[in-house]
Structure 1
Amino acid sequence: MDRLAPKLVTVFGGSGFVGTQLVQLLARQGHRVRVAVRRPDLAGDVRMFGSVGQVLPIQANLRNEASIQRAVVGSDIVINLVGIGHESGKQRFEAVHVEGAGAVARAAKAAGATRMVHLSALGVDKAAEVSAYAKSKLDGEAAVLAAFADAIILRPSLIFGQDDGYTNLMGGLSRVLPFMPLIGGDTLLQPIYVGDVAEALAKAAEGAVKGGRVYELGGPDVETHKALMQRVLRESGRNRPLVPVPAGLAKLGAGLLGVLPFKPLVTADQIELLGVDNVVSEAAIKDKRGIDAFGIAPKSMDTVLPTYMWRFRRNGQFDRDAENGTGLTA
């Protein structure tokens, strides 16, 4: 695929976990990048991802359509990465994932953007009946395609990487808990590296795949949730028993903790999601709507996790068991 001439790309949510990876790629490819965020005063570090003036944080709120329209003026490509894992205050699933996503697509179309890329989540079609999060993401995809028929939708599985919200949370908990609660241990997951997701987004923005389609992104490893937690414990050098927790009891606990004034470790909705397999569908594989459509060989967890999970070991990168090489500690 021939590289596009430098374009103006507006990335909503470009200062987040996936966004920072994507913005760096786009800048290296020579594009000018607007990073649309609610608090641009807190996103000044994204300027360092490009040369002087190449990357610019600007203000936009998906609950304010006028701010979205201002953010995309003159944009050749618009990418929406904004998503929330739980509801809080005015940040509701419907407002962000459905109404906000639709507003971005409408604004992109009105601004004359040639491409629109939207980040959703794998398995939302299967989990929509049990999860408000999944239903809102699925409805958001429909809202995007209704406004921008040639939009490209990407559905990644659980995304892992140095600053992710899963392996780092589990690693942190393993340092303080005598055991690890296990919810949905038999559920299948297909984690994908954040760098591979960013590369797929960048290639979609450059026209590497057909528009108006939904692509499912998964890594090379398919594991049960139990096996994934065991992997995290090994990489963290922690010897902790896994204690299965029934979904009903877990939801009760999540409800009680949900009244506390801080970010919940897990919500009842997320517990429902943990009961639904999160792997690339056979239909996507058959129709060539997987990671291979982008010409990407996804990195394995074996390759990536050791580069950052050492921080959860008792003695960091120096913590290795000379006798058996496992590095497991209490």
Structure 2
Amino acid sequence: MLSKTICILGGTGFVGHHLASQLTRAGYYVVVPSRNRERHRSLQVLPKVEVVDASIHDDDSLDALLVGCHAAINLVGILNENKRGDFKRVHVDLVERITQACRRTGVTRLLHMSALNADADQGSSQYLRSKGAGERLAHAADDLHVTSFRPAVIFGEQDHFFNRFAGLLRWLPVFPLTCPDSRMAPIYVGDVTEVMVKSLNDKDTYGQAYELCGPDICTLRQVVDYTNRLTGLRRPVIPLGNGMSAFMGRIMGKLPYKPFTYDNYLSLQTPAVCSNPFPARFGVTPKTIESIVPKYIGGADMRGRYHTLRRRAARDKDSLSGR
């Protein structure tokens, strides 16, 4: 591998596509592992990006990926468990594998994607507790130069946030909305990836954890109402109380596609709003929702867009679990 090669673990997902593009523009070569490289032709067409067949849950494969790399970036994460123990396997055990592989291969720089409100002890959901445990484990590797990032929900073209609501609004004549009063400050994917690229060679970021939020603080009801207006559908939205939202989480979490789970409900009980201003050292002014979202929601065939996103979600499901 070349001297300025970055390995992005979990790089075939939404954030990974944007990050790979930014890294190549900054002059880096990028290696992205996948269990099926042929599913990710959109990455393969990027200059200086190599998608390789590999399992990141295998130590030998991890070592082969990292040998000669300038840095490793861990984007691996799942929102829901398919079976008990998946959160620990993906968010905690894999971090241990990555830090050990970095030591074996001489990679000393590690960027780690955590989540806003991640807390191993006090997190409101299994997801947040496992993300917190993984982040703590990454920073415990004090022989490595680790920087972690805690973004709020991330939006941008091909996201699974505004696009998901747009698709649901297209197909549901009436929209039952769980946890409508949940507060959040969505962050644009381009701002997240710009911060990550700028931090790579910034020694002052070593050992630091950065919360990343956008400038708009809104409720989930406001997000859905805004998406409803952009699509022009004007569907009736029925906000559900906490009891019914929790019940819906238990029921919908049993569906194969898991559109909403009880653990998602628990995560939404904690406001996804940063406690500090956006970190000034990166020189990034976070973009507003209104400056980005209308460019990809509305004015298009939402039925076709929804089917495309469902196919992409199914195709890239392995990328969310780092495969």
TM-score w.r.t. structure 2 length?
0.86
Aligned pair partner of 1:265 in 242, 249, 259: 259
Cα displacement (A) at 1:90: 8.2
What SS is found at the alignment partner of 2:45? helix
Residues 153 and 186, structure 2, Cα contact 8 Å, conserved in 1: yes
Match of 1:7 among 4, 7, 13: 4
Q: Distance in 2 between matches of 1:130 and 1:315?
A: 35
Distance (Å, rounded) in 2 between the aligned partners of 1:245 and 1:170: 16
Q: CA RMSD in A?
A: 2.4
Rounded Cα–Cα distance in structure 2 between residues aligned with 1:199 and 1:312? 28
| CA–CA distance in structure 2, aligned partners of residues 245 and 209 of structure 1 | 45
Q: CA deviation at 1:124?
A: 1.8
Query: Which of residues 174, 181, 184 is equivalent to 2:176?
Result: 181
One-letter code aligned to 1:140: G
- Quote the residue 2:199 is aligned against: 204
Which secondary structure state, in structure 2, belongs to the residue aligned with residue 86 of structure 1? coil
1:14 deviates by: 1.3
Look up the match of 1:153. 148
Return the offset for 1:6.
6.5
In the alignment, the residues of structure 2 paired with residue 259 and residue 188 of structure 1 have an alpha-carbon distance, to the nearest angstrom, of 26
Deviates more, 1:108-117 or 1:156-165: 108-117
The Cα shift of 1:137 comes to 0.2
Identity across matched positions, percent: 33
Structure 1 Cα separation of the partners of residues 282 and 297 of structure 2: 28
Partners of 2:119 and 2:128 within 8 A in 1: yes
Amino acid corresponding to residue 77 of structure 1 in structure 2: A
**Cα distance in 2, alignment partners of residues 196 and 83 from structure 1:** 19
**Pair 1:48-2:68 in alignment:** no
Structure 1 CA distance for aligned equivalents of residues 8 and 131 of structure 2: 18
Distance 1:126 1:151 in 2: 18
Unaligned runs of 5+ in 2: 305-323
In structure 1, what residue type is equivalent to 2:206?
Answer: G
TM-score normalised over the length of structure 1: 0.84
Letter in 2 for 1:227: Q
Correspondences of 1:238-253 after superposition (within 5 Å): 238-253=233-248
2 CA distance for matches of 1:183 and 1:158? 16
Match of 2:307 in 1: none
Deviation at 1:32, TM superposition (A): 1.3
Q: CA deviation at 1:174?
A: 0.9
SS at match of 1:272: helix
2:160 is the alignment partner of 1:165: yes
Following superposition, the deviation at residue 109 of structure 1 comes to 3.1
Any residues of structure 2 matched to 1:97-136 within 5 Å, and which?
97-125=91-119, 128-136=122-130
Question: What does residue 324 of structure 1 align with?
Answer: none
Partner-residue secondary structure (3-state), 2:90: helix
1:310 maps to what in 2? Answer: 298
Indicate yes or no: 2:25 matched with 1:31.
no
Q: Is the 8 A contact 1:236 1:313 kept in 2?
A: no
Which is greater in Rg? 1
Match of 1:229 among 224, 227, 230: 224
1:297 to 285, 293, 298: 285
Q: Structure 1 residues 168-177 or 200-209, which shifts more?
A: 200-209
Aligned to 2:318: none
SS of alignment partner, residue 130 of structure 1: coil
Shift in alpha-carbon separation, 1:128–1:67, aligned structure 2, 3 A: farther
SS in 2 for 1:78: strand
Unaligned regions of 5+ residues in structure 1, if any? 317-330
Distance 1:251 1:82 in 2: 27
**1:291 Cα deviation (Å)?**
3.9
In structure 2, C-alpha distance between the alignment counterparts of 1:90 and 1:230, rounded to whole Å: 35
Structure 2 CA distance for aligned equivalents of residues 154 and 220 of structure 1: 17
Q: Deviations over 1:31-54 (max 9, x none)?
A: 11111223223224312111xxx2
Higher RCO (C-alpha 8 Å, min separation 6): 2
